[in-house]
Structure 1
């Protein structure tokens, strides 16, 4: 095995905005939980690294596929003042990439495969959680590891998977064996790289949103990978009508393939009026905000809740954004509605349940509309700032 590898690395300047104060979990000059308040002048570079070695409880994975996430785009995208768009946990320089699948090459002592309850031997096909939880703090003890008080994240403040190899603790890995009957060769790893983003959608609409009762109507705002994954999950969950709001014609067509019964172009019709028309005036039990444009999208959701006949609607906010939502409390009170935030995916068996859904017919691979090589990752991250023709662009390793 070679001793060096190339990796896509994001670098940025630590230059806090006026009034910024270090939080309890921030590290001066290295890490913050408020990325868009601190990091300036982001740049993407391909750097050379030593291939890492696994320690106790860790495994070395040869990465086979890794998707570009919207967070990768927003971490590398400057606003008018040069600050990154991404508002969350970040620590640079950092190798990007967290939607990964690959093969175990080497395992350190005590690295256990949870599928077999035996030590990793090498050769196992795996995917990985992106959120690295401690398992010891109060949120972890309460069953909410995606809100860990010592959280680290692959590709955000811990080196990620836009590289040939990555070392990770075994406890964050999940076997791709259930997918082997349905996916062969490279397709296994393409499917495996979609487990993480699909788990984000699953956590949002099932764990945080509380799911739906078969026969309910749902509305998905935003036809990116998370929104489209939610279409597939909720249709499988028994939704009567899955309504996708998405202006892009190519993503609209993909939405229909993933389970959407109707697609609304909110730039051409009144969003709320169209939702009510399609649902005979009832509206929806669940609305997913997956656009990252809450000031634009939420007023339409609120109007549909206010004028619709469905009580107890849930609005789940999964897209990350700095902007504040223009919420009218009266609507929530009178219509018995609620707004829920959803972060990440870990906990409550999300990953294995998503894998089993995929293994038994929920095919997520249509989301991948373009495959690229490692050296093409930077230009495609930049392209995704403005060009939304592609849905999921996935790096396939040589």
Structure 2
């Protein structure tokens, strides 16, 4: 008889909106790239599942820690009509959770450890990418696995890590050996679980946004985990002023601890005027939209670009939202500005670079503000819909 484990599973009803059309990568009744157009009445339950077995090139990992992501919250959150908030790739039922670290238990034939280029022996501390790219489609061949044409995503359309065990392909597994110089015991796995969300921020501001020159100004809109991680990355890159826009006091204080030089409360302060004051009228070289409220936030960013003296500003949009941004082309044209989309984290060595940065002084552990058990996941998913005091809530599977 197969061994059993418990997992946090999201169920929902396939009930497409009238305007939805099945796309070439959608699967009727099972999977879509337009989640908020299709899935209705989400329900989170803890169920028993079989412990998975690794096949050729796959690795079985015992999960030690897994963070709750905003996408987990939005997949489980219904709007007024019952449709999920999350707009992207989704396939239910699936075990949630994708920001994880753990220990290799068993490796299938041919599965190799990147640190040694030899087969896994078991016992290795690892983390893994959330995006399961195929490696053979055109985007993958061109070096853009984030946009794989046969993409699967851990915890979105395939079973994730809010469970004791998970199987993943070896190509997305990254050893945590460099972190052992800084962290040990449970801290190693807590830090390892932060590699994925930090890599999302890295991909947004470095790979997609192109980074900055030391001495440039940066504005981060949104003090969630990705925004906070971006503060740390941008300060490490040499930003003169990292400005965080965040109304929640606890997240604002955390932002300062992680690299923000200034914090703006957009609910009580004039965002545009404050940015102009802080930067002596220049504005910023890079703006990050990490709030998921583009109809509110983008016009303010655009006004900063228009009023600021700095040309060539880059506006990177990383938060996922169904809403359309109200863009004024004249501002982009006159100010030589760009809007850049950022998705995910895979490719171009994002994971190993984040691990090395964390191993050499970029401490991301303060982002974890609460630790919970597997049984507490459903209630915390509901709490995070409205309560923004916590930054990163992490599930401790090693306590199960």
TM-score (norm 2): 0.99
Q: CA deviation at 1:213?
A: 0.3
Alpha-carbon distance between aligned partners in 2 of 1:6 and 1:152, rounded to the nearest angstrom: 22
Deviations 1:43-67 (A, max 9, x none): 0000001111111111110000000
Q: CA deviation at 1:289?
A: 0.0
1:121 and 2:121 are equivalent in the alignment: yes
Give the aligned partner of residue 197 of structure 2: 197
Q: CA deviation at 1:114?
A: 1.0
TM-score (norm 1): 0.99
Query: How do 1:245-324 residues align onto structure 2 when only pairs under 5 Å count?
Result: 245-324=245-324
Give the aligned partner of residue 33 of structure 1: 33
User: Which ranges of structure 2 fall in alignment gaps of 5 or more residues?
Assistant: none
What secondary structure, in the 3-state scheme, does the structure 2 residue paired with 1:180 have?
helix
Deviations 1:138-194 (A, max 9, x none): 100000000000000000001000000001111110000000010110000000000
Q: CA deviation at 1:259?
A: 0.2
Alpha-carbon distance between aligned partners in 2 of 1:19 and 1:256, rounded to the nearest angstrom: 44
1:3 and 2:15 are equivalent in the alignment: no
What secondary structure, in the 3-state scheme, does the structure 1 residue paired with 2:6 have?
strand
Deviations 1:339-397 (A, max 9, x none): 00000000000000000000000000000000000010111011000000100000001
Contact 2:223/2:244, CA 8 A, preserved across alignment: yes
Give the aligned partner of residue 96 of structure 2: 96
Query: How do 1:146-295 residues align onto structure 2 when only pairs under 5 Å count?
Result: 146-295=146-295
Give the aligned partner of residue 42 of structure 2: 42
How many residue pairs match? The answer is 398
Q: CA deviation at 1:19?
A: 2.0
Alpha-carbon distance between aligned partners in 2 of 1:289 and 1:205, rounded to the nearest angstrom: 10
1:82 and 2:82 are equivalent in the alignment: yes
Alpha-carbon distance between aligned partners in 1 of 2:139 and 2:18, rounded to the nearest angstrom: 31
Deviations 1:202-225 (A, max 9, x none): 000000000000000000000000
Give the aligned partner of residue 361 of structure 1: 361
Alpha-carbon distance between aligned partners in 2 of 1:338 and 1:54, rounded to the nearest angstrom: 44
1:105 and 2:93 are equivalent in the alignment: no
Alpha-carbon distance between aligned partners in 2 of 1:50 and 1:274, rounded to the nearest angstrom: 54
Alpha-carbon distance between aligned partners in 2 of 1:276 and 1:34, rounded to the nearest angstrom: 38
Give the aligned partner of residue 330 of structure 1: 330
Give the aligned partner of residue 12 of structure 2: 12
Q: Return closer, same or farther for 1:2/1:369 CA change in 2, 3 Å cut-off.
A: farther
Alpha-carbon distance between aligned partners in 2 of 1:385 and 1:29, rounded to the nearest angstrom: 27
Q: CA deviation at 1:106?
A: 0.6
Alpha-carbon distance between aligned partners in 2 of 1:123 and 1:269, rounded to the nearest angstrom: 51
Contact 2:2/2:50, CA 8 A, preserved across alignment: no
Deviations 1:202-261 (A, max 9, x none): 000000000000000000000000000000000000000000000000000000000000
Q: CA deviation at 1:2?
A: 8.4
Deviates more, 1:106-115 or 1:195-204: 106-115
Alpha-carbon distance between aligned partners in 2 of 1:189 and 1:379, rounded to the nearest angstrom: 23
Give the aligned partner of residue 372 of structure 2: 372
Runs of 4 or more consecutive aligned structure 1 residues displaced over 2 Å after TM superposition: none
Q: Return closer, same or farther for 1:137/1:2 CA change in 2, 3 Å cut-off.
A: closer
Alpha-carbon distance between aligned partners in 2 of 1:26 and 1:53, rounded to the nearest angstrom: 27
User: Which ranges of structure 1 fall in alignment gaps of 5 or more residues?
Assistant: none
